[in-house]
Amino acid sequence: MENTLIPFVKSLEIYKHHFEKIYIDTKSLDSKLAQRILNLFPQDKIALVDEDPFKNHKGNLSAEQFDKSKKILHIKPFAGYFFKRCPGASQKKILNCCNYHVLNLGQQCNMNCSYCYLQSYLNTPATLIYSNIDKALAELKEMADQFPQQPFRVGTGEVIDSLSLDEITLYSRELIQFFNNYPKWTLEFKTKSDKVDQFLDCQHASNTVVSWSMNAPQIIESEEHGTANLTERILAAKKCKEKKFPVAFHIDPLIYFPDWKEGYAYLVESLTKNFQPKDVHAISLGALRFQPEQRHMMKERFGLKSYVTSAEMFPSEGNKLRYDQSLRKEMFNFVLDLFKANNPKWRIFLCMETPETWISSFDQAPIRNPQLKDLFKPLPKITS
């Protein structure tokens, strides 16, 4: 019962206010997560359900349903396969991708970024958190026992922020402990929150990378609603650094706005002032991109005054909408040059970008870059 007792819920009042309703599947009742939620949240918000309350929902969510889905929490066991490759890997012919694997322990997010790709991805009108993490760990163990020496990178932040609800789930603690047994494997948390206190006391094998999606302060303010601000994210990263957790930063998505150069220069300065290349596992850069069908939902939810919805986006290879290639190149080079000028040892790569953009920014494909080739080296294919 350790997890249900640890009082790591600094933001409990915020969560209580945020979630309007919590459904707990009766099959999840014995889980630590369900017990913890029953202890933490007022009983009138919680309903125990024998079957999926959203089973009749079909198809895409409307903008209103998407908004509402952030406020309804559904705890249930996940019946499928938890562990899979990053979506970028399925577009290897078009994109250079970095061998990332994902472990989805839930879906949806309690924060609200205007560009969030979940807007074109989700079709469940609730935030899901899976109660059967033991099954996820069993899957991981099977894989890790098969390839203990391969440098697999496993991220938990694909369809849910890794840490923004972690004070409730405490899944970080179980994952860190699990990865201690597989030092060649890397666990990566990815967040826009500053919720790290709940795992800082954990013993770790220096293979848990805590990473932040970072942006210019103007973009955090105008596009990343409900997230931690830049200072809070940096402070949280410093706490992790002090506890010897490797940290990483994803400057992604780079978003064009009138003062973008000042904004991103400030961001780079904030990072280089607080961290050294040796402290930072990697920095990834990505430019704004989204599925074309997502644009209508974004406009409906955030209007046309947002830097994202009013951006000049064009269809690209792979069908996503992107900035003009020359603007992307300019933005990448601007940020890369700032890092290089500070210290050439920063380990930087582009996320979900085409080989042409790679070559124009780095003069070579990532597999030929000595600092990055480990990340991009092909790994054994996992069949799920």
Element (H, E) at 15: helix 12-18
Segment interacting with other proteins (CB under 8 A) among 25-33, 41-49, 187-195, 308-316? 308-316
Q: Which of 274, 314, 341, 355 binds other proteins (CB under 8 A)?
A: 314
Q: How many residues does the structure list for the chain?
A: 384
CB 187 within 8 A of CB 28: no
Q: Which of 40, 45, 49, 65 binds other proteins (CB under 8 A)?
A: 65
Site string for other proteins, 232-261 (x = CB under 8 A): ------------------------------
CB 321 within 8 A of CB 236: no
* Smallest distance from other proteins to CB 21, Å: 18
Q: Does 312 participate in binding other proteins (rule CB under 8 A)? A: yes
Judged by CB, which is closer to other proteins: 256, or 339?
Answer: 256
Q: Where does the chain show beta strands of DSSP type E?
A: 21-25, 46-49, 72-76, 83-85, 100-103, 106-107, 112-113, 127-130, 153-155, 186-191, 208-214, 224-225, 247-254, 280-287, 289-290, 314-315, 321-322, 348-350
Token pair for 320: 């996503």
Q: Which of 26, 60, 231, 384 binds other proteins (CB under 8 A)?
A: 60
Element (H, E) at 231: helix 230-242
Q: Which of 10, 16, 17, 296 binds other proteins (CB under 8 A)?
A: 296
Q: Does 93 participate in binding other proteins (rule CB under 8 A)? A: no
Q: Does 342 participate in binding other proteins (rule CB under 8 A)? A: no
Rounded Cα–Cα distance for residues 165 and 67 (Å): 17
* Smallest distance from other proteins to CB 147, Å: 37
Q: Which of 147, 300, 374, 382 binds other proteins (CB under 8 A)?
A: 300
- Give yes or no for a cis peptide into 42 (omega within 30° of 0): no
Q: Which of 84, 299, 347, 374 binds other proteins (CB under 8 A)?
A: 299
Rounded Cα–Cα distance for residues 361 and 353 (Å): 11
Site string for other proteins, 320-339 (x = CB under 8 A): --xxxxxxx-x---------
CB 263 within 8 A of CB 216: yes
Segment interacting with other proteins (CB under 8 A) among 111-119, 163-171, 226-234, 304-312? 304-312
Residues from 98 through 137 that contact other proteins (CB under 8 A): none
Rounded to 5°, angle at Cα 376 from 209 and 95:
110
Q: Does 316 participate in binding other proteins (rule CB under 8 A)? A: yes
* Smallest distance from other proteins to CB 353, Å: 12
Judged by CB, which is closer to other proteins: 103, or 331?
Answer: 331
Question: How many C-beta neighbours within 10 Å does residue 47 have?
Answer: 12
The site that binds other proteins (CB under 8 A) totals a number of residues, namely: 31
Q: Note the residues at the interface with other proteins (CB under 8 A).
A: 57-65, 293, 296, 299-300, 303-305, 310, 312-317, 322-328, 330
